[in-house]
Structure 1
Amino acid sequence: MPYIKPLLFAFILLVTTNVFAQMTELPGVIRLHRRHHIFKLVSIPDCPKMYNLPAGSTTTVTHEKKITNGKTEIKVESIIPPSSGAVTISISSDKEYKIPIPAENNERATLYLDEKDKTKLYINYFIMSQIRLLPGTTLREYTQTYNCKDSTTAPTYADMKTLTDTVFYAYRKVMPDTRETTQAWFKHSDGIEVLNSSGAVAYYLVNRYNNAKYILELDNRYYVPYTSSSFHLSALVIPIKVRFGFTRNGMKVKDDVSAAVNVGLYGGIKTSRYHITNRAGTYINNVSSSWRLGPFINLSAVTVDSVTSTVGKIPMKKEDKQTIAALSTGVGFMYEVKGAQIGAFAGWDFGMGSDASNWNYHKRFWLGLGLGYKISDLFAPKE
C-alpha cells in the first residue's frame, strides 16, 4: 500500500487549508480630495416632533422610548382622534443631521461598511500626531452644541484649568485668525483653547477626526478605488513543472516536463485593488485585481526508473520502477481574479525515503505553472 501515506497527507493538507484559508484584511488606505462628498453625522437628542390629530371621538396616545445600540426608538401604540377639535402632540426623539465637511487634499483615511446597513459608506480618518502640553499650561475645553430646529451650532465652554502634569492630545493645532478657522471642519469640531499669560487664545487644539462619524457619498454607479493588503493561505495545485537538464560525472540528464497533481499550501502577502461602488443606494465592495508573493510547500508522487536514475547513487535496471514522494518548497508569484489564481513558481524538489538519492532531480531547481483557488470564497456570501 505505497500510496496510503501520500494520500493521507494530501487529505490532511487540504482539510487544514480549508480551515485556515481565511484572510485578515489590513486597512485599505484612500486619499480624499475636494471632489469627494463628505458629511459629518451629528445626532441631536430629545428633539420634539409634532403630531397633528384631527377631530374625532377620543384620543389615546401610548408611546415607549428606549435606547437600542445608541439609538432612540419611539413606539406609538395607538392614536384615536379627539371628539372635539384638533389636537397637537409632541414626542421627543433623536434627530440626525448630515453636515457637509469638504475634504482637504490628500487626507488619508480608511473605509468601512456596516454589514447590516450598506447604505452608508463610513470614513475612518487617520489619527492626528500627538501634541504635548506641559504643566502650567492654562486651557479651556469646548464642545459644539446643536439646535434641534436648524442644526446651528454654538460652543459650550468648560471652566478654565491649569495643568499640573504633562498631557498629550491627538488634536490638530490651529492658530487664531487663519484660514483654517473659517473651514467647516473647524466650526463643527470640539476642541481646546490654549491660553497665553494674558488670558487670550494662543492657539486651538481641534479634535478634527475623533469621536465623530463621517460618511462618503457617491453618485449612483460611481466608485472609489483603494488598495488593501492581507495575509492569505490557500490550497495550491502546480500541474506543470519544468526540471532543467544537467551533466554529472560525464552523464547528461535531459530536461523534464511533468504534468501531475502537486497538492500544496501557499501563503503570502497579497496586495489587492478594490472598487466600492454605489449601486442604487447600496455600497458594494468588489476586488478588481490582486497580486501575491510568498512561500509555498507541496507534496507530489514521482516515478524513479532507469531513465530518471541515470546519475543516481544506484541506477535502476530497465525493468525496475519505484514511486517515491517528493517534497517541494520555494517562492511563487500569483495573480488572482474572483478567487481563481494563476502564477509562476520556482522551487527545489527533495525526494523522500531511502530511494530518494537515486532520483536524478533530487535537490534540483525547477520552474512551474501554479493554479489555485481561495477556498474561503466558496463559503463567502455573494453580493
Structure 2
Amino acid sequence: MKSFILSLALLAIVYPGFGQTYKTKDFVKIPQGVEITKTITVKNCDEVIKAGSVITREIKKKNGKEEVTIVKVDTLKIDTKLGFDKAVPLKLSSLPGKANISASEKDGSTLLINYYLNPEHTLDSGTNIRIVYYKIDCDGKPFIEKQEARQRRLSQDTSVLLCKISNKQDTAADWFKYSDVVIEVYKNDMIDYYLINKYDRNGSYSMQLDNREYISYTKRSMEFGAITIPLKYRFGYTRDIDGNAVKVNNEFIADANLGLFAGYKLGRYRVRNDGGKLKDLSDLGATIGVFASLSSTSIDSLSTAGSGTPLKTGEKISIGVFSPGLGIMLSIYNVQIGGFIGYDFGFGANGGKWNFHKRPWLGFGVAYSLASFWKS
C-alpha cells in the first residue's frame, strides 16, 4: 500500500508532463439544421456616389520597362452610379458536412467555416448529361448564365469535383439553389441524378452565435508524439520447470520510459459566445491509438527464475526493453486519464531470460491541468 501511494506521489511530482504532442487540425461535423451564411463576391454592382464626392482613379501604363502611374482626381457634379465588387451574403437553412472551424478576428460572435471540398465523381464514357451554369446577382438572386440546349453524350470518362444528389427533395435546398453549376445526368432520357457544387471553394462560409449561445459538435483529429507511461502492472504467473512449479509474483512499478504514440482522437468542439467574445469550453474527448516505447531494467537470479536458465546468484545485468501496445486517453475537463496494455520484449540472450519477456502488462496514468499526458 505504501509503495502504491508513493507511486501516485511520483506521478504527480516527477511527471508534470507526459510528452510533446502534435496533431492534425480538428475536423468538425456540422449537423443538419444549422443556419450557415455563404458569402460570395459579385462583380460590377451599382452603387450611387453622391454629388460632391471626390473620386481618385489610378491608371498604370508602361513605357518599355518603366511603369508609370497616372492619378486622376474628379469631383462629381451629380449623383453617379459606379460599379464595384460586392460581398453578397446568402442564407442557407442547413449545410451539413465536415469542416474546419475558427473564430473570426473581426467579429467576436462569428465562426468561420472551411468545408472539405466536394468529392471526386467520375462520369463514364457514353453517359448523357446537360450542364447549366448559374450566377448570383447583386441582390443575392440566382439566374441562369448559360445552359446547354440538349443532352450530350460523353465521348470519354470524365471526373469532376462535385456532389452527387440523387434525392429529388434535395433540389429544393438552399445549397442546391445557390450552386454555380448543375450537371443533369440522364438515364433513359430521364434525369437520374444531379452533380452540384455543394461546397463552393470560391465562397466564404460562416455562422453566427447569439450572446450566451453555445454549440457542441463532434470533432476528429489525428495525434502523434512522445509519451511516457508512469505506472505499470505486470501480471504474475506460475510455470512448471522440470516438474517444479516456479511462481513469478505480480510487479507494480513506476519507472522512466520514452516512446512514440499515434492515435485517432474523438471529441467535442464546444464554444460559447460570452458577451461578444467566443470562448472555448473545456475539452471532452478520447484518443485511441498505438505506441512503442523503450526502457531498461536490471535482472538478477530472482527476476530470471521463470526462464529455466536463471542468472547466477549475485549476478546482475541491465537489459533493454521494447514495449509495443495499445492505449486510450480520456480528457474530461481539466483531468486526463490514460489506460494502456502492452507487451515487454527483452533484448538479447539475457533479455530472453527475464521473467516478463513476451508477457503482457497494464499501464495507467492520471493528471490534472498542466500535468497532462500531452504538452501542447
TM-score grouping bracket, smaller chain normalisation: 0.5 to 0.7
Task: Give the equivalent residue in structure 2 for 1:381.
Answer: none
Q: Distance in 2 between matches of 1:173 and 1:368?
A: 49
Contact 2:129 2:154 in 1 (8 A): no
Per-residue deviation, 1:181: 6.5
Selected match of 2:152 from 163, 171, 193? 163
Cα shift readout 1:182-225 (whole Å, capped 9, x = no counterpart): 654454344558699xxx99799473514344332222342333
Task: Give the equivalent residue in structure 1 for 2:67.
Answer: none
1:332 paired with 2:327, answer yes
More off after superposition, 265-274 vs 126-135: 126-135
Task: Give the equivalent residue in structure 2 for 1:10.
Answer: none
Task: Give the equivalent residue in structure 2 for 1:207.
Answer: 196
Over 3 Å counting, the alpha-carbon distance change for 1:195 and 1:125 in structure 2 is: closer
Q: Distance in 2 between matches of 1:315 and 1:174?
A: 72
Aligned AA for 1:228?
Answer: K
More off after superposition, 231-240 vs 221-230: 221-230
- TM-score by length of structure 1 reads 0.67
Q: Distance in 1 between matches of 2:190 and 2:300?
A: 88
SS in 1 for 2:357: coil
Contact 1:302 1:325 in 2 (8 A): yes
Cα shift readout 1:300-320 (whole Å, capped 9, x = no counterpart): 232223443434523432x54
Aligned AA for 2:321?
Answer: A
Per-residue deviation, 1:64: 4.6
Task: Give the equivalent residue in structure 2 for 1:37.
Answer: 35
1:231 paired with 2:222, answer yes
Q: Distance in 1 between matches of 2:183 and 2:322?
A: 67
Q: Distance in 2 between matches of 1:310 and 1:194?
A: 76
Selected match of 1:347 from 334, 337, 342? 342
Q: Distance in 2 between matches of 1:116 and 1:291?
A: 29
Q: Distance in 2 between matches of 1:338 and 1:299?
A: 31
- TM-score by length of structure 2 reads 0.68
Selected match of 1:260 from 234, 239, 255? 255
SS in 1 for 2:230: strand
Uncovered stretches (5+) of structure 2, i.e. residues with no partner: 1-18, 61-70, 367-371
Cα shift readout 1:21-64 (whole Å, capped 9, x = no counterpart): 4323474322221xx2222323221224344365xxxx864245
Over 3 Å counting, the alpha-carbon distance change for 1:295 and 1:192 in structure 2 is: closer
Task: Give the equivalent residue in structure 2 for 1:365.
Answer: 360
SS in 2 for 1:62: strand
Contact 1:351 1:359 in 2 (8 A): yes
Aligned AA for 1:49?
Answer: E
Contact 2:26 2:100 in 1 (8 A): no
Per-residue deviation, 1:95: 1.0
Same amino acid, percent of matched pairs: 25
Over 3 Å counting, the alpha-carbon distance change for 1:328 and 1:151 in structure 2 is: closer
After TM superposition, the structure 1 = structure 2 runs for residues 1-383 of structure 1, keeping only pairs within 5 Å, are: 21-25=21-25, 27-33=27-33, 36-52=34-50, 61-64=55-58, 88=79, 91-103=82-94, 107-113=96-102, 119-122=110-113, 124=115, 127=118, 137=128, 139=130, 141-147=132-138, 150-158=139-147, 160-165=149-154, 170=162, 184-192=174-182, 205=194, 207=196, 209-211=198-200, 212-248=203-239, 249=241, 250-278=245-273, 288-312=283-307, 313-317=309-313, 319-336=314-331, 341-370=336-365, 373-375=373-375, 377=376
Q: Distance in 2 between matches of 1:138 and 1:348?
A: 58
Q: Distance in 1 between matches of 2:374 and 2:266?
A: 15
Q: Distance in 1 between matches of 2:262 and 2:255?
A: 21
Contact 2:89 2:140 in 1 (8 A): no
Per-residue deviation, 1:145: 4.1
Q: Distance in 1 between matches of 2:208 and 2:339?
A: 40
Aligned AA for 1:314?
Answer: P
Q: Distance in 2 between matches of 1:205 and 1:298?
A: 51
- Say what the alpha-carbon RMSD is for the aligned residues: 4.3
Cα shift readout 1:122-157 (whole Å, capped 9, x = no counterpart): 25277489596985957462423413xx44444333
More off after superposition, 43-52 vs 183-192: 183-192
Contact 2:104 2:112 in 1 (8 A): no
SS in 2 for 1:373: coil
Cα shift readout 1:244-268 (whole Å, capped 9, x = no counterpart): 2222332322222212112222222
SS in 1 for 2:222: strand
Per-residue deviation, 1:92: 3.4
Q: Distance in 1 between matches of 2:321 and 2:170?
A: 66
SS in 2 for 1:355: helix
Over 3 Å counting, the alpha-carbon distance change for 1:138 and 1:275 in structure 2 is: closer
Q: Distance in 2 between matches of 1:100 and 1:154?
A: 17
Uncovered stretches (5+) of structure 1, i.e. residues with no partner: 1-16, 67-76, 378-383
Over 3 Å counting, the alpha-carbon distance change for 1:355 and 1:91 in structure 2 is: same
Q: Distance in 1 between matches of 2:306 and 2:87?
A: 79
